[in-house]
Amino acid sequence: MELIWWVVALTILVVVGVVWLLDLQARLRRLQSHREGLFVGVEEDAGLSAALESLASRLSETTARTERLVARAEQIDAALAHTVQGVGLVRFRAFQDTGGDQSFALALADGEGNGVVIAALYGRGKTRIYAKPVQGWLSPKPLGEEEEQALAEAKRVVVGHD
Residue 154: predicted pLDDT? 96
Give me the number of domains the chain comprises: 2
Residue 161: predicted pLDDT? 58
Whether residues 37 and 62 fall in one domain? yes
Q: Which domain range does residue 122 map to?
A: 86-159
At residue 152's C-alpha, the angle toward residues 149 and 157, to 5°, is 130
**Among 99, 108, 160, residue whose Cα is nearest residue 133:** 108
End-to-end alpha-carbon separation of the chain, Å? 94
pLDDT string in tens for the chain (162-residue length): 688 888 888 999 999 999 999 999 999 999 888 777 766 666 666 677 777 787 888 899 999 999 999 999 999 988 888 899 999 999 998 887 776 788 999 999 998 999 999 999 988 888 899 999 999 999 999 999 999 999 999 999 998 855
End of a domain among 40, 58, 79? 79
| Phi (first) and psi of residue 151, to 5 degrees | -65, -40
